[in-house]
Structures are given as structure tokens and as C-alpha cells.
Amino acid sequence: MDTVQQQAEVVSYAPSPPEEFCGREEERERLAAVISRTGEHGQAVMISGPPGIGKSSLLSWLAREVRECPGGLPSPVLRAEVFDLPGMIFSAFRELVGDLRKQTAPGRIGGEGMREAIRYAGDVLEKYAAPVEPVGLLPKTGEEIIGVFARSPEVGYDRVRQAFGELLRELGREMTGAGRIAAILLDDVHLASNLDRRLLRDTVHDLPPGILLAFTCRTEGAACPGPATLQEIRDSGYPEVQLPGMRRDEIRELGERRFRLAVDDAAAALLETTCSDPFSLMACFNALRCRGLAPSAGNMADVLAGAGGPAALAFTTLSGPGKALAEELCALNPPFPVPVVACMLKLKGTDVMLAADRMQESGIFRRLPGTGYAFAHPLLQEHCRRELSNDARIALNARAADCFERTMHRLPGRLHVLLSLACHFFHAQEYGKAADLNLELGLRFYHREDYDTALVLTERAIASAEHLGDDALLAAARRQGDLIRQKVAGSVEPAQ
């Protein structure tokens, strides 16, 4: 094999920085046209494609384009990400409201009308989620958590829709009056709950002038929504920008701009026909760099042969400590709270900061806005989870549950804590705790009409009761499951 001077650093698998974004000229022109129409009529657009195709990177490029629109003051961009933890009702929308609240500080955008709309929308979104959040939760065991849930406030979905819609109308008036636009960006809506998708659909139907709403959605792969859900998302009638694989000229540009590799036409042609999505290209180029190989077609063919997929190839470039970090944290549901990460890695004091530095240097983790971490790309976490043995999966989930219980008094998101505990107890086969917590949470989500989440949680409770051999608990869980299925099929009386 031809070799070059070895460069061991890994280019991060996180979304590409906008200044390094490569190719996609046709797609960028379509998005630029959408931006240009937003001042007169509210616009929505979906960026779609299979996992690893570059949807989040294009969304980052779009964010920069909006911020740098000519006309004086920079335009506000509000961005939130949906994570794969069923039941996080309106978490992304609450994040958007929080982001807007920061941008309306005195001397920036918005008058009193805007601030009041933000306060009201934030309050309504918080109250809607309150029924599944506990009151005064302290470090307790799983059994003791049950029974300390808040009572459901009288906040229905219609009130949420109206409050969020009025917020956007107020923001739109502010933007059009100043000759600007505001962009609302949602990443990975295929992971959203049915309630979040409903709010997204209703929002898209009534966007005011000055508001651009763009979101990404998988169309293939394990986390892709079902055909009916995907069609439901598409039926709103907004433009869809579907991303294909990269062409050879775009591949050469990616190699040069992000990896400083001079990829010739033969090598680019090989990649165009074998692994043309950006994630696979990143894995190939990182492997070449870390092995000190020249970017020839022969070397690329050898690197790709027997790799077992792009995520598996990405892991071959990691050091021993990097692989250990990935394995230790892959059972967690993002975002990973820092205290839980420290507990999982058995770290204290300055060791926590050193581990945080190693995570980001590895190229397979990213720091999220505010606090918390996630894998740089979901495909990396999905691969790491698949590679775990059954015993390792059980042990990691047991440790994760213990870490959440130990640190929950220091964690900001009670709902995230409870849903994580419900997940980890079940996958750790701690069926006594899993049955009660999943059953109780399932009932709460049933009352809030998030039937997808309610059914996932209730089915865990059913499986847990079967393992326990608890006939009374099993009968209660099955009744709850039947109620949820009947509600999906038609109208029934509320669960008691």
C-alpha cells in the first residue's frame, strides 16, 4: 500500500461546521429560495434522507445563511434536537422557547408583547408536561418514586397549540417590522412523540410571514418512522429537500476541505459507487488518515473491504480508551447528564474534566448546548449498542439506573430522569422496579394522549410482570394496554 505521513487525529463525526460544508449546490439553491420567500409568507421545509446522508450538516449551513442575511442586525435562529427517549413531550419546543427567551434580553430583539408571549408559551408547555413529572423528588429507590407524581393541571393540547402559535405570530410581526426573518430548526423529528408531530403539523399549517421552519427526518433505517407516519409528515404540503449520495466532485471537495486529502478521480469514482453518503466517507477518510495511507483507489478498496459497515469502520480508528468510553456510555439515552457520565466512568473532581476533553477529542462524542453530551452521530451509538453482549448490556443498564438514582437530586430534567430509569430498570432486568415505574408512567402518558409512549411503557410493564410471575400486576398492565389500544382505534372512557 502507498503510505503518507500518519496523522492520528480523527475528524469529528458531528455535523459539519458551516464553513466546511461541501457540495449540495442544488439543495442549497432550493433552500436559499425558501429563505427569500419567508419575509412575505411563512415557509416550512423538510430535509430528508437515510441516516448519515448529511441532514444535520445541511441544517447547520441553513442556520448560518439565515444569521448572515443582509440587512443590518443578524436574524435569530432557534434550534432544537429531538433525542431517542420516548415520552419527552414538547421537550424540543420548550428548548426553542428557552432559546428565544435568551435572545429577547434587553437591548436585543422583542418588546414587552414578545416577552409576554414567551412567558405564556413557556408556562403552558411546562404545565402540559407536568403530569408525568414528580413533585419534590429526592434520591430514592425505584419503589419509592411511585406515588409522588403531580396531579394533572387543566392544560389541554389546544391551549398549547394556541400559545405556541401566538408566540410565532408575535415573533413574525417583530421580524417583518424590522425587515428580517427568524428560523426555527428542528433536528430528527422522526424521533418525536405523536404529540410533538401533531404540534409540528399544526404549526406548519399556520406559519406567519417572517418565520421559516425547517426540520430533518430520516426516511430509512431503524429509527425511521413507519410509512403512515412518514406520509403524515409529508402530507402537510411543504417543500421536501431529499438528499442523495454525494457525487464524485463533491467527494473530492470533502476530502480536500475536511481532511486535506487529494482524492483523484478514480478514487472518487470508487467511493461514488460504494459509499457516497457523508458519514461513510468520513469513516473511510478517517481510517486512511489514522493508518497513514494515501487516498488511492486501491487503499480505499482495502479499507472498505470487510469493514462491516461505516460505523464499524469508524470504531477501528479509535484508541483503546476511546472505545472504552463509547462502550461505557452507549446504554445511556441522550442527552447524557454530566453527573451521570462521571458516575458511569467512576470519576471525581478534575478527572471529570479530563474525561470530557477525551470524549470530544475522540471525534465520536459532542458537547451539547448548555450541559450534557451525546454521540457525535446516532449511527455510532446504534452500532456500539448492537456490539454489546447480553451480559454487558444488562450490566451497563444496571449501572446506568444506579447512577441516575444516585445523582437525580442534581439533575435538571425530572422527566428525563424518570423515563431513563424506566428504560434502564427494564433492560437491566430489574423487573420489580421496572414494572411499577413503567406502568405508572404509561398511565400518565395515556392521560396526556401520547399513546405511542404509553404503549411502549405499558408493554414493558407487561413483560416485567410476566417475568415476576405477578398475576395481579400482569392483569392490571394488560388492562391498561387494552385501554390504550382501544383509544388508538376509537373513543373509550378515560383510564382510572
C-alpha cell at 191: 424521533
Q: Please give the pLDDT value at position 86.
A: 83
Q: Please give the pLDDT value at position 140.
A: 42
Q: Is 296 left (phi over 0), alpha (psi -120 to 50) or beta?
A: beta
Residues 170 and 117: beta-carbon distance below 8 Å: yes
Cell 418525536: give the residue.
192
Distance in angstroms (rounded) separating the CA atoms of residues 254 and 260 = 9
Distance in angstroms (rounded) separating the CA atoms of residues 215 and 219 = 13
Q: Please give the pLDDT value at position 107.
A: 54
Decide: residue 384, CB within 10 A, 0-12 exposed, 13-18 middle, 19+ buried.
buried
Q: Please give the pLDDT value at position 103.
A: 81
CA angle centred on 329, ends 325 and 332, rounded to 5°: 170
Q: Please give the pLDDT value at position 242.
A: 94
pLDDT < 70 stretches in the chain: 1-8, 70-73, 105-110, 130-154, 221-230, 233, 491-496
Q: Please give the pLDDT value at position 264.
A: 95
DSSP-derived 3-state class of residue 114: helix
Q: Please give the pLDDT value at position 379.
A: 94
β-bridge mates for residue 212, sequence order: 43, 183
Q: Is 49 left (phi over 0), alpha (psi -120 to 50) or beta?
A: left
Q: Please give the pLDDT value at position 154.
A: 66
Q: Is 488 left (phi over 0), alpha (psi -120 to 50) or beta?
A: alpha
DSSP state of 3: B
**169-204 burial by CB neighbour count: b if 16+ within 10 A, else e?**
bbbbebbbeeebbbbbbbbbbbbbbbbbbbbbebbb
pLDDT tens per residue across span 449-483: 889 899 999 999 999 999 999 999 999 999 999 99
Distance in angstroms (rounded) separating the CA atoms of residues 260 and 257 = 6
Mean pLDDT of the chain: 87
Residue 4: phi, psi to the nearest 5? Answer: -130, 175
Residues 314 and 13: beta-carbon distance below 8 Å: yes
Q: Please give the pLDDT value at position 152.
A: 52
Dihedral over alpha carbons 298, 299, 301, 304 (to 10 degrees): 180
CB atoms under 10 Å from CB of 116, counted, come to: 14
Q: pTM of the predicted model, to two decimals?
A: 0.89
Helix, strand, coil shares of the chain as percentages rounded to 5?
60, 10, 35
Distance in angstroms (rounded) separating the CA atoms of residues 43 and 305 = 44
